Structure 1
Amino acid sequence: MSPDVPDLTVRIEKEQGPDAGPRVLVVAAGDIDHLHAAVLETAVEHEVARATGPLDLVVDLGAVPYCDSCGMQVLLAAARRVAATGGSFGLRGVHGQVSRTLRLTGLDRVLGSG
């Protein structure tokens, strides 16, 4: 965990997707660990529940310095939930420890980190 990073916060933004449809951007800031992973999970579940068709969802991790196995599990579950809508899932702003962990576990290929 990063001692100078506050609890995880998540905000939802809407933007234009690559296929002229809407994209949901989930912007996370702070550590995604066993104490805070549920915050991200709840936000993603809410957006999946609101979807009336295929969901284009991107999680922005640019302000996330740390993500443990609980956080990785939330990201993987989010990708599966979005795929079940027939939509697409991706990551944005992946860097540092989070990037290394995704790469070492092979989740970078599964989750489309970028």
Structure 2
Amino acid sequence: MNTSEPLYVRVVASTETVLVRLAGELDLDSAPLVDRAVGACLGAGVRRVTVDLAAVTFCDSHGLMALERSGRIAAACGVTFQLSGVHRRLRRILSLYRDGSLPGVDVPSFARPEAGSCR
């Protein structure tokens, strides 16, 4: 029985920029939604994909891997991939995950650990 809150995905596109707004829980069950949403945005002149995480209430390692995967795929397509709306709880998780860096993902600097930090 799955008791997690569903993840809602809304895509707002313009000529060269796409905003993917996520709301709810980003976990094992919902991570494929991120893969599909970002994958569908690539191509047709898109230069930047921004994933808005402001309304994400939970993110586990599968959610982080989905963001990393999407960033790598976007980078391979020559598309800038960035995160926005990263709240404090998620910033902390990002700072612990792979030393605060997601390959292919432009993580806001406030989500990265400070130099010399042992957190």
Sort the TM-score into its range (normalised by shorter chain): 0.7 to 0.9
Structure 1 residue runs of 4+, over 6 Å off?
A: none
CA shift in 2, pair 1:83/1:46, >3 Å: same
CA shift in 2, pair 1:53/1:8, >3 Å: same
Across the aligned residues of Structure 1 and Structure 2, the Cα RMSD in angstroms comes to 2.0
Q: Is the 8 A contact 1:14 1:24 kept in 2?
A: yes
Whichever of the two has the greater Rg, that structure is 2
User: So what's the TM-score if we normalise by structure 2?
Assistant: 0.76
Output the CA distance in 1 between the equivalents of 2:86 and 2:16. 22
Structure 1 residue 87: deviation in Å?
1.7
Q: Is 1:29 the equivalent of 2:29?
A: no
Matches within 5 A, 1:14-93: 14-15=13-14, 22-48=16-42, 51-53=43-45, 55-93=47-85
| 1:14 alignment partner AA | A
Match of 2:106 in 1: 112
Q: Is the 8 A contact 1:55 1:82 kept in 2?
A: no
How much identity, in percent, do the aligned residues show? 34
- CA-to-aligned-CA distance 1:64-92 (integer Å, 9 cap, x gap): 02111100110001111110111201000
In structure 2, list runs of 5 or more residues that go unmatched. Answer: 109-119
In structure 1, list runs of 5 or more residues that go unmatched. Answer: 16-20
Q: Is the 8 A contact 1:65 1:96 kept in 2?
A: no
Structure 1 residue 6: deviation in Å?
3.3
Report the secondary structure of 1:26's partner residue: strand
